[in-house]
């Protein structure tokens, strides 16, 4: 029988689909890794499992203890899912602006939500999580933005999967950056396999990678207010800063043309992939990561441009 023993065994090995209904240059192919097929609905299921495993194995967290983490939502869902059946409490510090669906899912999985002011961004959520970790006995804050287990997660899982999925025939890798772990870990693995692979990082307007100032944006799940220590700019072969307008336009097009119901970070990454396709040579294979689905952003009118 092909039966998983628990929900954790369902994480990873997500499908890849070729994009066929968009106009692409002759001989250029685009493939999308559909991370919303993970049981918790996003790429961060991988991270939640690795952060909890690392915390327990290193003794930073004991059974009966509490994980406290600042999160935009998907990492929280991943951690809450990872904690199922392990006698671990979970508390998440979430900026008020983020999707209500994500917060409802975290609560359904047993998490406690602490809101922080939208004006303070993720830095405010980080400060609150660290404060709570000092106050609550046997508490641990994995700090995804500073934890090397973050990029290691994707080095161990997503990178090898993509290499296997496409039989090593990858020329361009495209991914958005929120904490940066997905991009950094996967890019590192792929560059080790083939240094000629072009690794492309994607951000929204209001992010710092291209030298801009932190600012508001509607594209949820990506965007950096600071550069974590584990990020290495030498892997940024190209940086694409994508407007909310272009991200949400691609979200709508992917639904209508390909039947792919993706979140706005996927829309931004896909727009960047199309920009790469425009200048690619025949025979180029581009793979792009779609981190989550549109279903957790319906309350934010994702198909009306996030208004």
List the catalytic residue out of 33, 42, 44, 264.
44
For residue 279, indicate whether it is catalytic.
no
For residue 119, indicate whether it is catalytic.
no
Q: Rounded distance, CA 260 to CA 29, Å? A: 17
Q: Rounded distance, CA 65 to CA 133, Å? A: 11
- The reply, when asked if residue 27 is annotated as ligand binding, is no
Do the Cβ atoms of 1 and 255 come closer than 8 Å? no
- The reply, when asked if residue 58 is annotated as ligand binding, is no
Q: Rounded distance, CA 105 to CA 100, Å? A: 9
Residues 6+ positions from 146 with CB-CB distance below 8 Å: 228, 229, 230
Q: Rounded distance, CA 284 to CA 286, Å? A: 6
List the catalytic residue out of 42, 99, 265, 293.
265
Alpha helical stretches, state H, 27-148: 44-57, 74-83, 100-108, 121-135
- The reply, when asked if residue 168 is annotated as ligand binding, is no
- The reply, when asked if residue 243 is annotated as ligand binding, is no
Sheet of strand 16-19, all strands in order from the earlier edge strand to the far edge: 16-19, 29-34, 285-290, 172-176, 198-204, 238-242
- The reply, when asked if residue 234 is annotated as ligand binding, is no
- The reply, when asked if residue 212 is annotated as ligand binding, is no
- The reply, when asked if residue 206 is annotated as ligand binding, is no
Binding-site residue ranges for pyridoxal 5'-phosphate = 74, 178-182, 265
**Residues belonging to the active site:** 44, 265
Binding-site residue ranges = 74, 178-182, 265
């Amino acid at each position: 029988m092909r039966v998983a023993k628990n929900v954790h065994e369902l994480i990873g090995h997500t499908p890849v689909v070729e994009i066929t209904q968009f106009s692409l240059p002759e001989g250029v192919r685009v493939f999308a890794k559909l991370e919303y097929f993970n049981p918790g609905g996003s790429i961060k299921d991988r991270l939640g499992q690795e952060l909890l495993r690392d915390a327990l194995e290193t003794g930073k967290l004991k059974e009966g203890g509490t994980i406290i983490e600042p999160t935009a939502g998907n990492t929280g869902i991943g951690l809450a899912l990872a904690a199922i059946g392990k006698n671990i409490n979970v508390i998440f510090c979430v900026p008020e602006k983020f999707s209500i669906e994500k917060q409802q899912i975290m609560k359904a999985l047993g998490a406690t939500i602490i809101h922080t002011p939208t004006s303070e961004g993720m830095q405010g959520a980080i400060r609150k999580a660290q404060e709570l970790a000092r106050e609550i006995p046997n508490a641990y804050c994995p700090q995804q933005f500073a934890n090397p287990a973050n990029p290691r997660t994707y080095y161990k899982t997503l990178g090898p999967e993509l290499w296997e999925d496409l039989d090593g025939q990858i020329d361009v890798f495209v991914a958005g950056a929120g904490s940066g772990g997905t991009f950094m870990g996967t890019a590192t693995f792929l560059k080790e396999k083939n240094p000629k692979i072009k690794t492309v990082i994607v951000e929204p307007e209001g992010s710092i990678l291209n030298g801009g100032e932190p600012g508001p944006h509607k594209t949820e799940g990506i965007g950096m207010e600071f550069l974590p220590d584990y990020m290495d700019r030498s892997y940024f072969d190209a940086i694409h800063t994508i407007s909310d307008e272009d991200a949400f336009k691609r979200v709508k097009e992917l639904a209508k043309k390909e039947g792919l119901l993706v979140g706005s970070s996927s829309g931004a990454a896909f727009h960047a992939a199309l920009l790469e396709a425009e200048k690619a040579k025949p025979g180029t294979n581009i793979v792009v990561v779609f981190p989550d689905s549109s279903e957790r952003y319906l309350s934010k009118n994702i198909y009306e441009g996030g208004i």
